[in-house]
Amino acid sequence: MNKEKKQIAILGSTGSIGTQALQVIAEHADLFEARVLTANNRWELLVEQARLFNPAAVVIANKAYYEAVRESLADLPIAVYAGAEALCQVVEGTEIDMVLTAMVGFAGLPPTIAAIRAGKPIALANKETMVVAGELINGLCHQYQVPILPVDSEHSAIFQSLMGEQSPIEKIILTASGGPFRTFTREQLYNVTPAMALKHPNWDMGAKITIDSASMMNKGFEVIEAKWLFGVEPKRIQVVVHPQSVVHSAVQFADGAVKAQLGVPDMRVPIQLAFSFPQRLQSTFDRLDWYAMHDLTFERPDTERFRCLALAYESLRQGGNMPCIINAANEIVNRAFLEGRCRFLEMADIIEKTMQRATFMAKPTYENYLETDKEARRIAAEQITSK
């Protein structure tokens, strides 16, 4: 270990964000070191990454692959752990300077909390953590004096637009690509397949977030994430569909001035900034070609066709554990749609019914979130199997 370099733990190093984070680390090997790498199932890639980046420890969350990983790395001084608990323990290591949460879904919540309690700055990609328990996370960050650096491109854009500002936010303009079905009618949406949903026009991302982008639940989650990250009420967060994904989001101030951050759609930009903040580093990534951008367009989102967006706002209006309920139900229907067990438009119906049936709690504790997540998953899953 080189103490001069920032030691980064990457939770979910084999995913879309995780692999791009490793590219950033490789480009700036003089500044950053991958201290911990973790994965769920893709153990071969985890081993390959460990051989390249030589971390102090790796965690394979799925214990079935523990032996395989351990044997493959037996010749190297890399500690190998397995299981969800190990993810929480490994982020506490005294040498770690920053934790990138790049795993998917509710599973990101416990290790993020463990990292905050250990005083580690968070580079936050795992938006589900803020959706489920934003208030709790903010309280812990305050208590442990831990900063959260947003990695989600929209939130990084908002963060960048706020740099140097002391004045309050009048409005956040949260841009959305609209996904692959932006122009589809309801009838067309009825028949869309997972393969169609997995073809995102601008971003190459993991399957779960790509489906969420197609249903616009991703944008709904980003509204919730923005509320907690920037302390802005939902009525001041305006979603604007911008199919070209060049304006990554913007902030409007009291005088009417709007500051936005623009760029080529490339997640390595916000990842790198989260690692290097408050500095900006050189990059070899593509630059915007201003003469090629003839038409940047902006539209109103259609919450009749994309009901998930409206449901996300509704969950915020109700508050308490409702966003946790919507997240759990969404994880179930997202998977079911991907596996061909649920139609595209049914996802919103099942989520809405789960919101009505799950036990509401106005002031949930951490344990309540765990219970809520289980209950809402069960209620959503029942609606899929009962058909």
Closest approach of ligand NAD to the CB of residue 178, in Å: 16
Interface residue with ligand NAD among 40, 49, 156, 261 (CB under 6 A) is 40
Closest approach of ligand NAD to the CB of residue 72, in Å: 16
Reported for 366-374, long-range contacts at CB under 8 A and 24+ positions apart, including other chains, are 366/113, 366/133, 366/136, 368/321, 369/109, 369/132, 369/133, 369/136, 369/321, 369/324, 372/321, 372/324, 372/325, 372/328, 373/106, 373/132, 373/324, 373/327, 373/328, 374/328
15 binds ligand NAD (CB under 6 A): yes
The option from ligand NAD, Mg ion, none interacting with 143 (CB < 5 to 8 A, set by class) reads none
Q: Which of 259, 242, 238 is nearest to 250 (CA)?
A: 259
| Pairwise CA distance, residues 371 & 387, whole Å | 25
Select 210 or 252, whichever has its Cβ closest to Mg ion. Answer: 210
102 binds ligand NAD (CB under 6 A): yes
375 binds Mg ion (CB under 5 A): no
State the number of binding residues for Mg ion (CB under 5 A): 3
Closest approach of ligand NAD to the CB of residue 291, in Å: 27
240 binds ligand NAD (CB under 6 A): no
33 binds Mg ion (CB under 5 A): no
Q: Interface residues for Mg ion in 130-169 (CB under 5 A)?
A: 152-154
Using Cβ positions, the residue closest to ligand NAD within the complex turns out to be 15
Which residues are at the interface with ligand NAD (CB under 6 A)?
Answer: 12-18, 39-42, 61, 102-104, 107, 125-128, 152, 203, 205-206, 208-209, 267
Which residues are at the interface with Mg ion (CB under 5 A)?
Answer: 152-154
